Every structure is written in C-alpha cells, then in structure tokens.
Amino acid sequence: MHQRSPLKFVEAICVSYEIFCLDDIFQLYMYKLGMSKAWMFTDVFGLDPDLLAMLPQPVVALILLFPETENIKKADRERLIAIERDGQTVSPNVYFLKQTIGNACGTVGLLHAVLNVQEQVNLESPLKEFAEKTKALSPDERATYMESDKSLSVAHEESAQEGQTEAPSAEDHVNNHFIALINKDGCIYEMDGRKEFPINHGATTADTFLNDAAKVCQEFMKHDPNEVRFTVVALAKKD
C-alpha cells in the first residue's frame, strides 16, 4: 500500500495559494512543529527599501514563491552552468535537504528557512528533534527521513483540519515553486531542494540581509517583468 506523504498541507498553496494568506499557513504549520511564537511569517508587499523598512525586524529568512516560466528556467540553467564552470564556496554550516518527492517544495522551503536559523528562533520539539536527528545526515538522507517523520505527519493533519484545504498529489503538475533565502556565515544562499546544492549569491550581513535577499528576488522577477505571480514572505521577529 502506498504510504500517504505527511507533506501535503503546505503544498495546497502551490496550486491555489490565493485562498489563504501564505504567512498564516506558514505560521500554522511551523508553530505546530515547534517554532517559537516570538517569531512570525509576514507578507512582503514590496521590495523597495521603504517598504522593506516597514517589516518587523530582524528578518532572518525570505521565502519566494515564483512561477516556473521558460525565462526563469533558462536563467536557472545558465546559473548552474556558471557554477559548474567557476565553482562556488558553500559553508559547511548550511543545513540543506533535497526534495525527493513531487509537490513538496513548500515544506522543504519552510524547513530550509527555519532550520538554518534555529539558534535564533528557539526551536522546540518536534522541529528541534528533527534537526538533531538529521544534523549528521546527507541531503538525500534528510529527505528520506523527512518523508517518513511522524511529527510532520501529525502537524500536517492538524493544520489541514484547521486550514480546511486539500493539497495536490505528488503526481499533479504544479507550475509554482518555493525557495528559501538564508544568511549563513556571511553569505546569502538560495535553498532549492530540487538542486544538488545551495546557491551562493554573495556576501551579506545580519544588518543588510533583508535588502540583499530582496535583490535576489528581483533577479528572479526581472527575467519575466510582466509576470505577476511572485510572492515573498519574511521570517521575522515579532515587535
């Protein structure tokens, strides 16, 4: 019998994210998994400095939801070719896990965002236990553990009941994708579980991370300037 994946609640927003606010869905799921309620997910309504300054501070991660257009996919391929040619530096402290099942990019993006700032967001179990048990595993092994983790499944069921939304199956075609942007050891990383490794987007600091990450988001957007299906959510400390 095929085991039902525990990762489906968050994925509903890949298909019909206009039904709910992304920040509410993210918080519902992550709070149930043990993220401190001193932290919150909040919508980013614009990427210019004045609008970014209105967000609660500090912001420690961004999650970008974007359409997988041909222009964006082409730019992505070109970036990977450049990395293969020139190489890149990736901190060993980056927590990276692969996405090995379909339509799990929302869950993977959330885990990338939260687990890379776990010291700041004061994780409790089950997220804390998940982080400890997968710390020494490879990205593929972390993905396998994630797929069968019962705590994720329980949180999914509770969140699905409260959110009252049905997610797509792993076989459904979804034309939107989530990535996380995080700061680790002075560099900003694009965390995409479908890739083989994180993408280093250059130097950043705790003070400049939000503006630096916004520029990475703008790089995605400039490949399809007439496309409106971009959404950005920040992980920030509550005021």
How far is the C-alpha of 214 from the C-alpha of 49, rounded, in Å? 9
CATH architecture of 12-237: 3-Layer(aba) Sandwich (3.40)
How far is the C-alpha of 19 from the C-alpha of 29, rounded, in Å? 16
Q: Known catalytic residues? A: 105, 177
Residue 58 confidence class, pLDDT cut points 50, 70, 90: very high
As a three-state string, the secondary structure of the chain is CCCCCCCCCCCHHHHHHHHCCHHHHHHHHHHHHCCCCCEEEEEECCCCHHHHCCCCCCEEEEEEEEECCHHHHHHHHHHHHHHHHHCCCCCCCCCCCCCCCCCCHHHHHHHHHHHCCHHHHCCCCCHHHHHHHHCCCCHHHHHHHHHHCHHHHHHHHHHHHHHCCCCCCCCCCCCEEEEEEEEECCEEEEECCCCCCCEEEEECCCCCHHHHHHHHHHHHHHCCCCCCCCEEEEEEECC
Determine contact, residues 41/26, Cβ cutoff 8 Å.
yes
* pLDDT tens per residue, range 23-49: 788 888 899 899 999 999 999 999 999
Ranges of each domain in the chain = 12-237
Tell me what pLDDT residue 82 has: 96
Segment 170-176 mean pLDDT: 55
Tell me what pLDDT residue 4 has: 37
* pLDDT tens per residue, range 112-138: 999 999 989 989 988 999 999 999 999
pTM, rounded to two decimals: 0.86
- Scored b (16 or more CB within 10 A) or e, 99-114 reads bbbebbbbbbbbbbbb
